[in-house]
Amino acid sequence: MTGFASSTAAEQRFNVNLSILFTELPLLERPAAAAAAGFTAVELWWPWVDSPTPAPGELAALKRAIEDAGVRLTGLNLYAGRLPGPDRGALSIPGEESERFRANIEVAADFARSLGCGALNALYGNRVEGVDPAEQDALALENLVLAARAADRIGAVLLIETLNRPESPDYPLVSAAAGVAVVDRVNEATGLGNARFLMDLYHLSMNGEDLPQVISAHAGKTGHVQIADNPGRGAPGTGTLPLEELIGQLREAGYDGWVGLEYKPGDRPSAEAFDWLPAEARAAR
């Protein structure tokens, strides 16, 4: 596996997504495992896939695990059902699922605030057969406005993510331009300016996008970056994406935020899936 040069990696801030890495461990053990691997920052999908409003004791236990590990929570998904898998967000689905998303907004925002987390991520939601797409888009905008206001209340940004068509054929945001257009609509509707694009280089590459062009066009509206190699969604160096070069281009374009490690560890423990990244580059400064 090809690793990042120490000088390149040292200039970037990396965090670990504990919903796709360290999943061989119980949730409450993952923050400490990330810390043991040398990381000081983590992010999470909404951990309670069947509950947008878990019991206070469950929230408190996760908060304590993060604090005891000495890591920082830098990003949290709003409720989106089971990921990865058939569920791809609830905010644009009329009826019960949209209400579940709404019920989660303040719970997630308060949890994020309690840990100083500065980013909430909202997955747009799959298209529903038999429902006018315009109706779904109007509901999505309404719910994203609520989420943006909750994020603003805690001093956070609201991230809007593009997925990829092969793995999420019913998800409507499958290009960088589509994701950024929603960001612009949310900011126009709220006047807050805190909606930002989540640039996932794996998903964009699966859509066949020109990644240097995407960076050039959209780095200024990007609030978070996630990486995995392609093919396979493995660690950098397991596929063909020039991730070190792309991260360098992001820095040159002015992006200085987090890069989330959102890849599968493969047939090995997650702790062994970071050999591409020099140890001294794992602790965010």
Residue 142 annotated among the catalytic residues of the structure: no
Whether 161 sits among the annotated catalytic residues: the reply is: yes
User: Can you tell me whether residue 196 is helix, strand or coil?
Assistant: strand
Chain-centroid distance, C-alpha 178: 17
Set 43, 97, 161, 209: catalytic member = 161
Residues 161/173, Cβ–Cβ less than 8 Å: yes
Is 160 in a helix, a strand, or coil?
Answer: strand
Pairing assessment for the beta strands 119-122 and 157-161 based on DSSP bridges = parallel
Contacts of 113 (CB under 8 A, 6+ apart): 154, 155, 156
User: Whole-angstrom Cα distance, residue 208 to residue 37?
Assistant: 33
Computed over its alpha carbons, how large is the radius of gyration of the chain?
18
CA–CA separation, 276 vs 87, rounded Å? 31
Extract the tokens encoding 57. Answer: 């004791």
Active site residues per annotation: 161, 262
